[in-house]
Structure formats: C-alpha cells, structure tokens
Amino acid sequence: MTDSLFAELGIIEPLCRALAAVDYQQPTPIQTQAIPQLLAGKDLLGIAQTGTGKTAAFAVPLLQRLAQAGPPAGADTVRALILAPTRELAIQIGEDFEAYGKHLNLRVATIFGGVGQNPQVSALRRGIDVLVATPGRLLDLVGQRLARLDKVSLLVLDEADRLLDMGFIRDVRRIVSGLPKARQSLLFSATMPDEVAALAREILRDPVRIDVSPKTVTVDLTDQHVVFVENGDKRHVLTKLLRTPAVTRAIVFTRTKHGANRVAEQLDRDGIAAEAIHGNKSQNARQRALESFKNGKTWVLVATDIAARGIDIDAVSHVFNFELPHEPESYVHRIGRTGRAGASGIAMSLCDSSERPRLRAIEKLIRRPISVMQVEIDASERAQAPVRAVQSASTRAAQPTSRRNRPTTSSRSGNVSGNGNRSPNADRSGNGNRSADGNRSANGNRSGNGSRSGSGNRSGSGAASSAPRRRRSPNQRGDDRSEIWSNR
Ligand code: AMP
C-alpha cells in the first residue's frame, strides 16, 4: 500500500486498505490539508459542508490516533466523542467510522433520541472507542449517570452551525464542560456565525483553520436554474421536469412537512415513484424511505431541509426546490445534495412571484445570478387529476412505489447498520437488512446488540422505538423543525 496517496499523508496500512475498499483513490483537498495536522495532534477549525469529504478528513486520523494510543476502551469508557445535530447525520458518521476502521479493533457506537436507551446504556457500560451522538440524548444519559465522558481525549463538533440553529449549543457547552481539558478538539461548520466563532474560541486551542468554502464547492459544481411559475402550476412543472430522461435520481425540497407529503402524493399519482422524508415520520419510516431511495426502488425523494440534512447519497442527478427556502444558506445546503465529491449536478428552483425576494437573497449569497429556464405547460398537462386528501405517512410508506422505477445507481452508504457489519462494497439492496415487521431501529440494532462483527468493529447503538420527548418551538413559518425536539 506504499503507493497510496493516503499513505503519503501518514495513514497506516489497515486504514489505507479500508479506504481502497470504498474506492477513495486520492484525498480530497480538505483531507490533504487536515490529515497531517490531525495526526500531529493539532486542534482544527474546518469551514466545510458535507460533500467535501470532511467526514473522512476527521474520521481517518482520529481512528489512527485511537489505534496507536493504547488499548481499546475499557468498561464505562468513551475515548472519542463526535457530536452531530441530527440522527441521520449521526448514523452516517457512525457508518463511515465503521467502514474506515474495519481493520482496526475499535468499538463504534451511535446514540440518539427517539429510540429506547437500554441498548445504548449497555454499549456505554462495555466501553466505546468512538461514540457518535446527538447532544440531547447524550446529555440525558450523562444526567442519569449512565454515560461517563471523563476519558474523552478526542472531540469533534460536526455541523456546528446546525447545532446552533437547532438550539443545541447550550447542551453542547454542558457536555464539553464535563470533558477533560487535555484533549484534541475539532469543530466543523459550513458557515461561521458569531456564536459558532465564539464556541470555537472556547473549545479549540490554537487551531489550524481550513476553509473549504461551501459557496465555491456548490456554485462551481452545480448547474443552477430557476423556473418562474405560478403556484398552481408548480406541480405540473415539477412532473414535467422529472420526466426528462436526464433526471436519474432526484431530491425535491419543500418547506413544510405537509408540503412534502402532498408533493410525494401528487408525484405518485402522476406515475413517479416518490417517498417523503420529514420530521413527522417515525425513525423507521425515514430509514426505509432513505433505503428505498439509495437502492433505487424509488428515484425521487421529497424532503424538508432538516430531514435532508446530512443525507449522503451519491449520484443524485438533480435537486429541485419546489419552494425556495427562507434562509438563503439552506439553498446552498440543498443544492449541495447534488454534485457531491467532485461530480457535477443540476439544481432547479421553482419560484412564484411571492418568492422573488428569497431568490434575490440567494443570488446575493452565492454572488451570481441563477439562469432562468422556460417551461411551458399545455392544457393537457394542466388537466391532470386534482389532489385528494393527503394520505398518512404510514399508508404511503407501505404502498408500492415502483410504478416507474429507474435503474439502480450506486450509492456510497451501505445498509444502515450499527452492528459493525457494513461492507462498503456489498450489494446495497438493503432488502435483507430490515425486519419483516419494519420494527428495526434506525441504526440496525434490534435487541442485545453490540455483537462483534467479523471485521472487528463492535457497536452498541440504540434500538427499540419509544416516544420522543416533546417540546415544540414557536415556529411561525411552519418549517420542519420537529427534529430539533425529536432528537432529544
Ligand atoms: P462528506 O463531505 O464527508 O459528506 O463526503 C462526501 C462524499 O464524498 C461521500 O460520499 C464520501 O464517501 C465521498 N468521499 C470522501 N472522501 C473521498 C475520497 N477521498 N475519494 C472519493 N470519495 C470520497
């Protein structure tokens, strides 16, 4: 493995082998810059969004440092802590750690709210080398004295701006205040509002700063278009655009949960297999929708901003904004779902007259005009069946979605699994990995998890569902913020 470009950065052979297995042939710019610094023990401030390769930029050197620094975690010990704003992102990071660390004898576990805590507690008792967690649940467990963080020597705050947006910053501060002072700390954020900068100053010591600006990433790699259309015609325009052969796998963004349900329902009626994903759906339903999308059973995913956050699926050819977001930054995050890891993508936004100010704000942020595209709708296209009442999420999830499936394209993530059994190159069908009753937990563990996988990774993530703790934000705009609360 001496010819590996990762080896040239100082990465050890078992990690290079795992990276070769997921077909990472050369490091991305953030990896080239971050890996040597992190191996040398430096703190890091990374300005980067998903799509830049930032997860491997921190996961690979962290795994190496853990493997080289003494024995694996003993009972009641957590050695490295990764805090992430959403369950989906936590699961994805956990999967990445498992894939990269599959030749190392380290335990990886993922902990988040909305599922039973017992398996998580068992995993904590056994000891965890890499714990990926959402802040609310972790703080609960710390409060119950079920999680001890006094041996944490590595800390990563991922998507710090989202942690802030979602009201987690206080929880994060409380967690960090209980960690040993002698540790290596990393903070990643796509944007750097004052509060995140303040948090970085508090948490990081003399950090290296690496800036992979999201604006350059998305603007350079994504073809962006806007279609001016009156609201009543959006549905028809969307259907027409989705029927273009170039669209092989698409994410459609809506602003609200109801909007996501309605659009998915309309597309299904128009013969386009689509699934909705948003914070009102159970964790199982969301994972199922994601799996269907990843393995090509459905080729259109309709999502709200927060539910889509951190979704990492390769080969998304198009992103459609059914509605423009209120925050211009969300536009950048949305279109970052396409054109990932160097591939080019296409983003199309449907904009009605009431949304013109939002379009102007977006153009100001990305510092370029978005090209206008004309789409004509004729009478026959407009005359399609009117929408009936929105089906419940569970009914929709259960119905067949294969009326107009596209051929499967590859996706990076394997079956969602928290038991260390992920095989990066394995068949990604996801079929064998779900229980017949659909009762599987989001991270793949069902009961007494933590079983050791053949590759040496062990995991002890949460399992059986239980009702999330409810606390609602006053959210005048009706955006999908439910995850802010259900993550806890
Ligand atoms: P991230 O920014 O961590 O969400 O990663 C974005 C995507 O890039 C994921 O699909 C990764 O699997 C992929 N990726 C990360 N590093 C590399 C690499 N060095 N070569 C190819 N793909 C990569």
Domain boundaries, the chain: 2-212, 216-402
Output the pLDDT for position 305. Answer: 77
CB-CB contact of 330 with 305 (8 Å): yes
CB-CB contact of 137 with 109 (8 Å): no
The residue to mutate among 11, 26, 31, 55, having the most atoms of ligand 1 within 8 angstroms of its beta carbon, is 55
Instruction: Give the DSSP H/E element, type plus range, for residue 62.
Output: helix 54-68
Topology match between the domains 2-212 and 216-402 = yes
H helices of 228-303, where? Answer: 234-242, 257-269, 283-294
Of 306, 290, 246, which is closest to residue 411 (Cα–Cα)? 290
DSSP letter at 450?
-
Output the pLDDT for position 282. Answer: 72
CB-CB contact of 71 with 127 (8 Å): no
CATH number of 216-402: 3.40.50.300
CB-CB contact of 440 with 332 (8 Å): no
Q: Whose CA is nearest to atom 5 of ligand 1?
A: 53
Q: Which two tokens stand for residue 75?
A: 């009972």
Output the pLDDT for position 308. Answer: 66
Is residue 465 helix, strand or coil?
A: strand
Is residue 305 helix, strand or coil?
A: helix
Is residue 210 helix, strand or coil?
A: strand
Q: How far is CA 368 from the centre of its chain?
A: 27
Output the pLDDT for position 219. Answer: 56
CB-CB contact of 146 with 121 (8 Å): yes
How many beta carbons lie within 10 A of that of residue 14, not counting itself?
A: 19
Q: List Cα–Cα distances, 115 to 313, 396, 427, 459, in angstroms.
A: 24, 22, 27, 16
CB-CB contact of 227 with 374 (8 Å): yes
Of 137, 100, 134, which is closest to residue 121 (Cα–Cα)? 137
463: CB partners within 8 A, 6+ apart: 115, 116, 118, 119, 441, 443, 445, 446, 447, 449
The residue to mutate among 62, 412, 422, 428, having the most atoms of ligand 1 within 8 angstroms of its beta carbon, is 412
Output the pLDDT for position 425. Answer: 30
Q: Whose CA is nearest to atom 21 of ligand 1?
A: 24
Q: Across the strands, what pairs with 108? A: 130
- What φ, ψ does residue 175 adopt, rounded to 5°? -65, -45
Instruction: Give the DSSP H/E element, type plus range, for residue 89.
Output: helix 87-100
Distance CA 227, CA 270 (A): 20
CB-CB contact of 96 with 62 (8 Å): no
Task: Measure 481 CA to ligand 1 centroid, in angstroms.
Answer: 27
Task: Measure 268 CA to ligand 1 centroid, in angstroms.
Answer: 32
Q: Whose CA is nearest to atom 18 of ligand 1?
A: 24
Task: Measure 180 CA to ligand 1 centroid, in angstroms.
Answer: 31
Q: Whose CA is nearest to atom 4 of ligand 1?
A: 50
CB-CB contact of 281 with 308 (8 Å): no
Is residue 101 helix, strand or coil?
A: coil
The residue to mutate among 24, 186, 249, having the most atoms of ligand 1 within 8 angstroms of its beta carbon, is 24
Q: Across the strands, what pairs with 110? A: 132
How many beta carbons lie within 10 A of that of residue 331, not counting itself?
A: 28
CB-CB contact of 457 with 106 (8 Å): yes
Distance CA 221, CA 213 (A): 13
Task: Measure 212 CA to ligand 1 centroid, in angstroms.
Answer: 14
User: Which amino acids bring their CB within 6 angstroms of ligand 1?
Assistant: 24, 27-28, 31, 50-56, 312, 314, 340-341, 412
Each of the 488 residues of the chain gets a pLDDT tens digit; together they read 446 899 999 999 999 999 999 988 889 889 999 999 999 999 999 998 777 889 999 999 999 999 999 788 889 999 999 999 999 899 999 999 999 999 999 999 999 998 999 999 999 999 999 999 999 999 999 999 999 999 999 999 999 988 988 889 999 999 999 999 999 999 999 888 888 999 999 999 999 999 886 544 455 667 899 999 987 899 999 999 999 988 989 999 998 889 999 999 999 999 998 988 876 777 678 778 888 888 888 899 999 876 666 566 667 889 999 999 887 878 887 887 776 555 668 999 999 999 999 999 999 888 888 999 999 888 777 776 443 333 322 332 333 333 334 333 333 222 222 333 323 232 223 332 322 222 223 333 323 333 323 333 333 333 323 333 323 333 333 333 333 222 22
Instruction: Give the DSSP H/E element, type plus range, for residue 220.
Output: helix 214-221
Task: Measure 95 CA to ligand 1 centroid, in angstroms.
Answer: 13
Output the pLDDT for position 94. Answer: 97
Q: Which fold has domain 2-212?
A: Rossmann fold (3.40.50)
Distance CA 122, CA 141 (A): 12
Return the ∠ at Cα 477 (arms to 474 and 481), rounded to 5°: 60
Q: Whose CA is nearest to atom 15 of ligand 1?
A: 53
The DSSP result for 380-420, as a single string, is HHHTSPPP-PPPPHHHHHHS---TTPPPP---S--S--SSS
Distance CA 234, CA 240 (A): 10
pTM exceeds cut of 0.85 = no
How many beta carbons lie within 10 A of that of residue 455, not counting itself?
A: 18
Query: For 215-235, b where at least 16 C-beta lie within 10 A, e where not — what string?
Result: bebbbebbebebbbbeeebbb
